[in-house]
A and B are shown apart, each in its own frame.
Chain A
């Protein structure tokens, strides 16, 4: 009789797990489906190849090319900048500091706290910083604010994968007379797919965030030509379109959301392909 009770338990939890999995898969299709169904009819060649003409948000001609380019600049610029800052940090706390050193612990606590800070705070902080430096809302301001936002995401993701590297790999390179920096390069080779994931997460977060760029990057109908130009972003463009009283403009918001989703999807697939290529030597 006892066996039967265990079987019921087994089935019960299995069904719960299946339901949870269905909720996840279901919401994915529901969200993408909504965007496609609502956005596809409003999608046009103009939308992705033209900047908005006057009165675009009131139903005027044009597209969101300015926001596509702006978002790409900001996401790519801040991912790159964040990588340049995050990589030395994780290398330092993992290969230079001894295990459980106070500085390493402090750094980890620091990025954990930063990780939890809402993006509007980064926006506000970035804005204050810009005021202090006498900058206006600009591409550079947006990149800086988003960089601050994604650094904790990047460091945390990279730190987590680097900490899974077995101690023996460190011992192997150390035993060959490698310096700490040379050892770090080998470790990075080992975790290259994880580094790719970190960059992708940061990029995805950077391209989708509104609050951090609202005040720092501003908005403009033009494609930025210099770091000082105010810059439009896709999420903010979607927000503006959705706020429009005109039905047609709101439909274009879904088309813009579709563009953003496809954008992130392409980056994600690319990253997966790249990390496959990188991981072929993984031990």
Chain B
């Protein structure tokens, strides 16, 4: 399945962890302003694939990446590419929230600050705006100076989302972002994703099929480092074409 103007286009991507061939000939188009989910059993490579999008493997010596990842048509693995500029275009939500070791306010203001925003009033405004965007403002507006680590895990994850949004990305990468959260917090994050896809392209790694179905428009099934099938979510989950996908969706494969 291909798209006319995909936001991210992966072409013949291969990734090696030392001798381990972790991603094999991946080619996939991630559509603009939609939610695309990667499903698959643990260790299948879905998180590894996600992290190639903002070059998070860069600091690992054992990882070798071959092939292309085109962001709006430009190869992010080409020589002379500014990695920080690419990463600024993508917010990352990890499996467990990792707030920065600073106050709630500074967590949100961190991104704008490193990218040059110094104006106190503007920062105040940004902090309020993004905390409202993730429905956290009312819960924390009286204690913005408190350490972010004092928030509950669910609140921390929403804070991390707001922190990512504050650098004005185009894409949100979610690496099983609800796996550490309780059902209520999970629901909040999912609702946010549905709102945010109006403005952002979202790529979501998840091992919960029902979550993929609730949130995503398109879904890719990843197995043993390969994309087995990529289709609109309903179609992939309800009427898969490949036998492997069928087996996984029905719970025979894990």
Chain A residues engaging chain B, CB cutoff 8 angstroms: 98-101, 166, 168-179, 182, 186, 189-190, 280-283
Q: Within 8 Å CB of A177, what residues of B?
A: 84-85, 87-88, 111, 114-115, 167
- Asked whether B59 lies within 8 Å of A98 as measured between CB atoms, the reply is yes
| Interface size grouping (class) on chain B | 20 to 34
Q: Mark B43-65, 1 if CB is under 8 A from A, else 0.
A: 00000000000101001111000
Task: Name B110's closest neighbour in chain A (CB-CB).
Answer: A176
Contact of B59 among A170, A189, A281 (CB under 8 A): A170
Q: Which of A99, A170, A172 has the most CB of B within 10 A?
A: A172
Q: Within 8 Å CB of B59, what residues of A?
A: 98-99, 170, 174
Q: Within 8 Å CB of A186, what residues of B?
A: 100-102, 110
A99-B59, A172-B92 known; A281 and B84 CB under 8 Å? no
- Asked whether A175 lies within 8 Å of B85 as measured between CB atoms, the reply is no
- Asked whether B160 lies within 8 Å of A176 as measured between CB atoms, the reply is no
Task: Name B156's closest neighbour in chain A (CB-CB).
Answer: A283
Q: Mark B85-102, 1 if CB is under 8 A from A, else 0.
A: 101101110101011111
Chain A min CB distance to B5 (Å): 24
Complex A-B: 19 CB contacts under 8 Å:
A99-B60, A99-B61, A100-B62, A101-B61, A166-B98, A168-B94, A168-B96, A172-B160, A175-B173, A176-B91, A177-B84, A177-B88, A178-B84, A182-B114, A186-B102, A186-B110, A281-B102, A281-B147, A283-B101
Contact of A174 among B60, B87, B173 (CB under 8 A): B87
Given contact pairs A176-B164, A283-B100, a sample of 12 additional A-B residue pairs in the complex whose CB atoms are under 8 Å apart: A170-B59, A174-B87, A175-B87, A175-B164, A176-B114, A178-B84, A179-B114, A186-B101, A189-B102, A281-B103, A281-B149, A283-B99
B9 close to chain A: CB less than 8 A? no
Q: Within 8 Å CB of A168, what residues of B?
A: 94, 96, 98
Task: Name A186's closest neighbour in chain B (CB-CB).
Answer: B100
Q: Within 8 Å CB of A178, what residues of B?
A: 84, 114
> How many Å lie between the Cα of A283 and that of B146 in the bound state?
12
> How many Å lie between the Cα of A42 and that of B173 in the bound state?
70
Chain B min CB distance to A276 (Å): 13
Task: Name A167's closest neighbour in chain B (CB-CB).
Answer: B59
Task: Enumerate the 9 nearest inter-chain pairs by beta-carbon distance, A residue then B residue, closest first.
Answer: A177-B88, A175-B92, A98-B61, A190-B101, A281-B147, A281-B101, A176-B111, A177-B84, A189-B101
Task: Name A104's closest neighbour in chain B (CB-CB).
Answer: B61
- Asked whether A171 lies within 8 Å of B56 as measured between CB atoms, the reply is yes
Task: Name B173's closest neighbour in chain A (CB-CB).
Answer: A175
Q: Within 8 Å CB of B90, what residues of A?
A: 175
Task: Name A166's closest neighbour in chain B (CB-CB).
Answer: B98
Task: Name B95's closest neighbour in chain A (CB-CB).
Answer: A168
Chain B min CB distance to A36 (Å): 40
Q: Which of B54, B101, B160 has the most CB of A within 10 A?
A: B101
> How many Å lie between the Cα of A98 and that of B98 in the bound state?
21
Q: Which of A98, A168, A170, A175 has the most CB of B within 10 A?
A: A175
Chain A min CB distance to B178 (Å): 16
Chain B min CB distance to A279 (Å): 9
A173-B100, A177-B84, A177-B87 known; A280 and B56 CB under 8 Å? no
B68 close to chain A: CB less than 8 A? no
- Asked whether B101 lies within 8 Å of A175 as measured between CB atoms, the reply is no
B163 close to chain A: CB less than 8 A? yes
B123 close to chain A: CB less than 8 A? no
**Would you list which residues of chain B between 169 and 183 have a CB under 8 Å from chain A?**
173
B148 close to chain A: CB less than 8 A? yes
> How many Å lie between the Cα of A177 and that of B84 in the bound state?
4
Q: Within 8 Å CB of A175, what residues of B?
A: 54, 56, 87, 90-92, 164, 173
Task: Name A182's closest neighbour in chain B (CB-CB).
Answer: B114
Contact of B101 among A98, A101, A174, A282 (CB under 8 A): A282
Q: Within 8 Å CB of A182, what residues of B?
A: 114
Contact of B148 among A98, A174, A179, A283 (CB under 8 A): A283
